[in-house]
Structure 1
């Protein structure tokens, strides 16, 4: 389990920014949060990460968000979650 990343940054971006990467993606984010591994697995079967009001099951290999709660609610329509390396 130590090979799994212990933290990620999740960017919540409007769906129309598909294809953007790097600094352009970060600038398009309407919210971001660094999430830390809890050591538990979510209902999706992937590791659970929490922080900054976000709770996510993330596939650490593909960096795909498999499940996400934002302040305890599902992600609003028109938004998508992107996973990037946590800074610092």
Structure 2
């Protein structure tokens, strides 16, 4: 069993933005945050990451955000959370 990554960057982008390239996503991001693992599982069963006002349960294998709070609230409609390696940019 491999160890999950210690940190990711979460980019909040408008839903219509396509692609997975970190540089392209960063151009359209309205907010970004580097999140680090807490060492605990979130309510979704995936590792919990926290940082810069964002709490997220992330599936490290697929880089899918399974649960997300931004400043303690759910993500606004029309926005999407994308996960990239914290070192991609």
How would you bin the TM-score normalised by the shorter chain?
over 0.9
Q: How far 1:22 sits from its partner (Å)? A: 3.0
Q: Offset at 1:18?
A: 2.1
SS at match of 1:16: coil
Report the RMSD for the aligned CA atoms in angstroms. Answer: 1.6
How far apart are 1:2 and its partner, in Å?
Answer: 6.2
Runs of 4+ in structure 1 over 6 Å off = none
Identify the residue that residue 21 of structure 2 maps to in structure 1. 21
How do 1:57-72 and structure 2 match up within 5 A?
57-72=57-72
1:56 CA displacement: 0.1
SS in 2 for 1:27: helix
Q: 2: CA distance between counterparts of 1:2 and 1:29?
A: 30
Other-structure match for 2:5: 5
Match of 1:79 in 2: 79
- Once the two structures are TM-superposed, the CA of residue 21 in structure 1 deviates from its matched residue by 2.3
Distance 1:13 1:20 in 2: 11
Aligned length: 88
